[in-house]
């Protein structure tokens, strides 16, 4: 990870270099509004890929999460959906350059349209979705269009997942703490049950900043744990965070 990433709290991490180099692949991000950041890496490293033969990444952006999942599961076919023109072009380029490109496919569609035409089901669906549900747009309109729920209301996403998820499949997302709690409530109205939750903290003295959440169609007692990213010093990653991300970051 770059020094810039280490100096920022988890909710503000953004790597601004045009190319982000991971251990086994690189991500070009000069065309994307949303750059490589902690949220995407966390979700890509955390989602349960075991026994998944078909995986879908909703709103893939640069293609980061789809490529990470392809590294972790060497037998899965992975589809990545992206509505934004420039982000889709970037994802196609990054996927083409990935060592496992033959198992990755990008689709230039909204998830609403994709769900309306796609016949197959997925064992795992992931998304690092928009999360602002109110407020005003900033001057950086491209970034806001990605992070605001105008283009992808959470209800629309849940309806799409409801259609596309296999009976025993898993749906994984990452959201800020408050938005994550609201999302759990909304997901319940679509008959999704939260079966696994990891609370993400920058360090032990900070409040919970993110929720990594797994949803399934069958109710069971959820697994709950916490992930603390740093110890006291800004460059002192916890063992748990290193174990989760070591397969990806160059300097872990």
Dump pLDDT digits (tens) for 86-111: 999 999 999 999 999 999 999 999 99
**Can you tell me which residue has the tokens 């197959």?**
120
Question: What is the pLDDT at residue 251?
Answer: 85
The answer to whether the CB of 27 falls within 8 A of the CB of 50 is no
* Residue 152 confidence class, pLDDT cut points 50, 70, 90: confident
Measured distance between the N- and C-terminal CA atoms of the chain, rounded to whole angstroms: 8
What DSSP character marks residue 75?
T
Residue 34, pLDDT score: 78
Question: What average pLDDT does the structure give for the chain?
Answer: 87
Task: Supply φ then ψ for residue 143, to 5 degrees.
Answer: -65, -45
Is the model's pLDDT at 176 over the cut of 70? yes
Q: Is pLDDT larger for residue 12 or for residue 207?
A: 207
More confident residue, 13 or 239: 239
CATH of domain 3-245: 3.40.50.150
Q: What is the DSSP string of 162-194?
A: HHHEEEEEEEEEEEEHHHHHHHHHHHHHTT-EE
Q: What is the pLDDT of residue 143?
A: 41
Any idea where the domains of the chain sit in the sequence?
3-245
Once rounded to an integer, what is the mean pLDDT over residues 231-239?
81
Q: What is the pLDDT of residues 55-89, one digit of tens each?
A: 999 999 999 999 999 999 999 999 999 999 999 99
Q: What pLDDT sits at residue 1?
A: 41
Sign, CA dihedral 38-41-124-83, equals positive
- Cβ partners under 8 Å of residue 170, min gap 6: 47, 48, 52, 123, 124, 125, 195, 214, 215, 216
CB atoms within 10 A of CB 138: 10
For the entire predicted model, the pTM comes to 0.86
């Amino acid at each position: 990870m770059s020094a810039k990433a280490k100096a920022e709290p988890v909710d503000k991490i953004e790597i601004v270099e045009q190319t982000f180099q991971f251990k086994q692949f690189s991500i070009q991000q000069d065309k994307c509004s949303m750059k490589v950041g902690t949220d995407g890496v966390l979700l890509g490293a955390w989602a349960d890929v075991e026994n998944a033969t078909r995986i879908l990444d909703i709103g893939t952006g640069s293609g980061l999460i789809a490529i990470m999942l392809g590294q972790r599961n060497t037998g899965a076919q992975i589809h990545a959906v992206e509505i934004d023109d420039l982000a889709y072009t970037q994802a196609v380029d990054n996927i083409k350059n990935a060592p496992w490109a033959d198992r990755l496919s990008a689709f230039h569609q909204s998830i609403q349209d994709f769900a309306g035409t796609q016949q197959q089901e997925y064992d795992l669906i992931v998304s690092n979705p928009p999360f602002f549900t109110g407020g005003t747009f900033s001057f950086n309109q491209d970034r806001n269009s990605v992070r605001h729920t105008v283009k992808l209301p959470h209800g629309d996403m849940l309806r799409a997942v409801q259609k596309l998820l296999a009976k025993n499949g898993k749906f994984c997302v990452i959201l800020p703490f408050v938005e994550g709690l609201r999302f759990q409530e909304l997901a319940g109205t679509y008959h999704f049950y939260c079966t696994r939750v990891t609370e993400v903290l920058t360090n032990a003295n900070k409040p919970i900043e993110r929720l990594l959440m797994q949803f399934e169609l069958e109710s069971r007692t959820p697994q709950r744990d916490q992930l603390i990213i740093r110890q006291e010093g800004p460059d002192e990653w916890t063992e748990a965070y290193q174990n989760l991300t070591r397969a990806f970051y160059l300097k872990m």
